[in-house]
Amino acid sequence: MQSKQRKISINYRPLQISGDIEVIGSVPDMQVYQADKAEYTPDYTLTPLTLFPRCNATDPDAIVKIGNVNAALTNMKWYERVGSSRTLITSANTNYVITDSGSEKGKIQMKKNVSTINPVTLEFYAEYVDSKRSGQTHVFQFSRLIRTVDGSAPQPKLMIDSPAGLDWNPLRDIVRQTITAKLIVGDTDVTATSKCKFFFYRKLDNGTLEQIVDGNGDNDWEFVSLSKNVLTIDRNYIGKEITYVCKASYSASGSPSSTPNSNIDYVSTTIRRRIPAIEIDWKGVPQQVADGTTVIYPQPIIRDTVGDIPNPSELLECEWRTKAAGASSYSLVATGYNPRIPFTDGMMLNLTVIDRGPYAALVTSDGKYIVNSDNKFVVARKRIV
């Protein structure tokens, strides 16, 4: 007699990791030094610069829900690089304060000013172990340049009214968002003058920037309009997240360049689609039904911390499953908000509420866009996997 044994394991696909260093609060990551006054604006010794290395992980197999993993980071380090010198930042360095636990793990405060001739690069390193799936170790590495400019001549300062990181809740927040840019030179707002131009970009999945011009680009699904300094988008067309970058050019004489000035720092905003925790239940079905009942008609109840979700069918789908008495698993028997469900005595009823996802263009099996009789793209909500 012969026998053979072999271990069979799951072949997990690697986690998809992403992130960046975000500026937290209103203190910018660039200073202005006025030599005649020997003053820094802002002065990091009085109002520290706060940076947060946001570390995200996505399970491509959707086996576990992960998201932000800062609290689980290991072997975390911050380095300070000045020129060719690279130094590990430890707790003994009073110029920095690092958060080493909790959901804000990795957050760093910089409490020293930067020389105009020696900019500082802060480099972040951390590891994340995929302990629930593959045991694989993933590495996060980000860097941020902190510099000081000479304030003897006013330095144009570009800003937008959307924060560096913005979570939008499609269940409650308005769909359209305007991103308004402003350029300040010294104490003067030059936004509405002929001295400046603004340039908006969309960051693609491969990290490259695609300029947004007129809404006719290949990726302009969420585009609504663009004026000189105002970009309007429809967030219903945003998938998991999207990053916009704004740049500018400026000329005191009134002839700004048709391309961004490299000496004007760009600003960005990352908009993330986030539906918070919801509470689900149903009504219309008592725990004990009358003898002879063959069909039940439950109605879902979906709430968040504010109350009942308005018009939930627009964004959420209901899946109804039953398990007969003695059965080992549930079976899908209906979908929607007015189900007709066959009843058997002793059965279990289960309701699952699913995000229908953002809008996406429909394509044929060979990858061509589907259009209607007016030659407009046909769109439908697509669940994010």
- Per-residue pLDDT tens digits for 40-64: 999 999 999 999 999 988 876 554 5
Q: 3-state DSSP call for residue 162?
A: coil
Count of beta carbons in the 10 Å neighbourhood of residue 337:
13
Tell me which of 7-21, 164-178, 274-288 is least confident.
Answer: 7-21
Ramachandran bin of 25, using left for φ above 0, alpha for ψ from -120 to 50, beta for the remaining angles: left
How far, in Å, are 3, 293, 301 from residue 357 at the CA level? 50, 36, 20
**Domain spanning 10-147: CATH 2.40.128:** no
Q: Which of 103, 121, 260, 92 is nearest to 181 (CA)?
A: 260
What are the domain boundaries of the chain? Answer: 10-147, 154-274, 279-355
pLDDT confidence tier of residue 66, bands split at 50, 70 and 90: low
pLDDT tens for each residue of 282-296: 998 888 888 889 999
Q: Is the pLDDT of residue 345 over 60?
A: yes
Residue 13, pLDDT above cutoff 70:
no
**Each residue's pLDDT tens digit, 190-244:** 999 999 999 999 999 888 999 999 888 878 889 999 999 999 999 999 988 999 9
Pairing of strands 279-283, 108-110: unpaired
C-alpha distances in Å from residue 279, one per residue of 181, 189, 302, 351, 354: 38, 47, 6, 11, 12
CATH top class, domain 154-274? mainly beta
pLDDT surpassing 70 at residue 12: no
User: Is the pLDDT confidence value at 10 over 60?
Assistant: no
Asked if 89 and 50 count as a contact pair (C-beta separation under 8 A), the reply is no
- Residue 117, C-beta contacts closer than 8 angstroms, at least 6 positions apart: none
Residues 6+ apart with CB under 8 A from 290: none
Q: Tell me what pLDDT residue 3 has.
A: 55
**Alpha carbon distance 323, 311 (integer Å):** 29
Q: CB-based burial of residue 231 (10 Å sphere; 0-12 exposed, 13-18 middle, 19+ buried)?
A: buried
Q: Looking at the predicted structure, is the pLDDT value of residue 71 above 80? A: yes
- 279-355 CATH: 2.60.40
Distance, first Cα to last Cα, the chain: 48
In whole angstroms, give the CA distance from residue 66 to residue 133: 11
| Reported confidence tier of residue 5, pLDDT bands at 50, 70, 90 | low
Percent over 90 (pLDDT), the chain: 66
Q: How confident is the model at residue 65 (pLDDT cuts 50, 70, 90)?
A: low
- Supply the pLDDT for residue 21: 94
What's the pLDDT band for 76 if we cut at 50, 70, 90?
very high
Give the pLDDT mean for 333-354: 93
Average pLDDT over all residues of the chain: 88
Q: What pairing do the DSSP bridges indicate for beta strands 85-88 and 188-189?
A: unpaired
